[in-house]
Structure 1
């Protein structure tokens, strides 16, 4: 294990950088924003407009259902 010291330094540096990125995202409210955007996206996807658009973009969906 000739280079074990280098590997430990790289692992410690990577862990420190990852921890700093997580702290930055927590302090800037990144996770709250992502949660809000995901809930809005899911609400829109379950709306009648989105369902109509999904059906319009897949003209073969009724044919696929008949084959099943």
Structure 2
């Protein structure tokens, strides 16, 4: 355990940096913004427009499903 002191210093430094990043995100309201963006994204993905776009971008989707059922 020749380098145990170095490992402990690196671990302590990493934990300090991680804690500082978490505090910064909490202080700036990062988590609230992400929550709002995710809910808007989920609402849009379940809309009829998103469903039509998903089907338009993958015209072979139904063909692939039929092949899976036949095999």
Check whether TM > 0.5. yes
Deviating above 4 A after TM superposition, structure 1's stretches of 4 or more consecutive aligned residues are none
2:62 and 2:29 mapped to 1: Cα distance? 44
CA–CA separation in structure 2 for the residues paired with 1:62 and 1:2: 62
Total equivalences in the alignment: 68
Is it true that 1:65 corresponds to 2:65 in the alignment? yes
Query: Structure 1 regions of 5+ residues with no counterpart?
Result: none
Indicate yes or no: 2:48 matched with 1:53.
no
Cross-structure match for 1:36: 36
Partner of residue 16, structure 1: 16
Alignment RMSD: 0.8
The CA deviation string for residues 5-56 of structure 1, in whole angstroms up to 9 with x for no partner, is 1110110010000000000000100000001000000000000000000000
Please list every run of 5 or more consecutive structure 2 residues that lacks an aligned counterpart in the other structure: none
